[in-house]
Homo-oligomer: A and B are copies of this chain.
Amino acid sequence: MPPHQLGRPTLASIAAAAGVSLPTVSKVVNGKADVAPTTRAHVQQLLDQHNYVPVTRRPAEDLLVDVVFTALDSPWAVEILRGVTESGLEVVVSSQSRTSDVDWVQALVAGGRRGALVVTSRLTAADQRRLGRSRLPVVVIDPVDMPGQDVPSVGATNWAGGLAATEHLVELGHRRIAVVGGPQAYLCSRARIDGYRAALERAGIAVDPALVVHGTFRHQGGYDQAQSLLALPDPPTAIFAGSDEQAFGVMEAARQAGLSVPDDLSVVGFDDLPMARWSSPPLTTVCQPLADMGRMAGRMLHDLIDGRVLGSQRMELATHLVTRASTAPPRR
């Protein structure tokens, strides 16, 4: 047990306990060379015993930044994280619960954070006010709804992605094409569905409202909605699934219905997560450059931290279709 000691230990108190001068303790703490081995060992022991932590630190040369996820439960998250860490920022992983904290912003400042990256999440007006006051820059990745004009954000070209996915199916000869969107409130989901509509209209195919349904972006949502769609009197021959995870749910529903992908049903995802390559058959999907989006958001945040002005408050990175084996012309 450490000897009785009021308050946290200081260099002075350790020096007194060790019977050496304060500068000597400072040298041990900082790993300077000019200390006798025995002295160093003795002082170090006292430091450990008292659990010494310096009360002042050198200013962080590294740019410590929080990245806030709604939940750390999707393979999504790693992709974005990877991008962010490649932008030269030091990234602290944080989850939603933290922002709901009354003094989230104050906690950021106290923790030495230089900014924050918020992923697929809403910033309340209160958050924005506090952030403004603290001068902490924030960038939002893939915002759920349209962020205020003055909140910098990074997204993907969702509309173009929905268009490309659907045109691919049209070109293969499909006419009965369904779409399973994400939650209706999500901006990105709406853009993808609008892209789907645009492709059908361009091809002169009427949009059948029965073939436009909403899931959750998760596996179960795709599974449930595909079951309903496949039970229709005139079922679709192709489904644009809105997300990769949802596409896997659609494929499972097809398998259970005794349908083969892509012979009986074509499936297109959205995201191009690493595992899109790993399904059987490998998934045709719209590549959303998640790592690049993370990197871009990191770079924007970095600029803001350094006091540079952003070229644009809103950046949308290009999506593109990756054709694999889950799509084929319809039977007959």
Chain A residues within CB distance 8 Å of chain B: 8, 31, 44, 47-49, 51, 53-62, 64, 72-75, 77-78, 81-82, 85, 90-95, 106, 110-112, 133-135, 219, 245, 248-249, 251-252, 254-255, 261, 274-275, 277-282, 306-307
Beta-carbon contact of A112 and B110 below 8 Å: no
Question: How many copies of this chain does one complex carry?
Answer: 2
Tell me the nearest residue of chain B to A2, going by C-beta: B307
A68 CB, nearest partner CB in chain B, Å: 11
The A interface is mostly helix, strand or loop, or mixed, namely: mixed
Beta-carbon contact of A279 and B279 below 8 Å: yes
Beta-carbon contact of A48 and B135 below 8 Å: yes
What separation, in Å, do the CA atoms of A163 and B282 have in the docked complex? Answer: 31
The 8 Å CB contact of A85, one of B72, B274, B307, is: B72
B residues within 8 A CB of A56? 56-57, 59
The 8 Å CB contact of A280, one of B62, B74, B280, is: B280
Given contacts A57-B112, A72-B78, A278-B279, 19 further A-B contacts (CB under 8 A): A47-B135, A57-B59, A57-B60, A60-B112, A72-B82, A73-B274, A74-B274, A77-B78, A85-B94, A90-B92, A90-B94, A91-B92, A93-B93, A112-B112, A219-B278, A245-B278, A248-B275, A252-B280, A255-B280
A237 CB, nearest partner CB in chain B, Å: 18
In the complex where A75-B274, A95-B85, A307-B48 touch, is A58 in contact with B110 (Cβ < 8 A)? Answer: yes
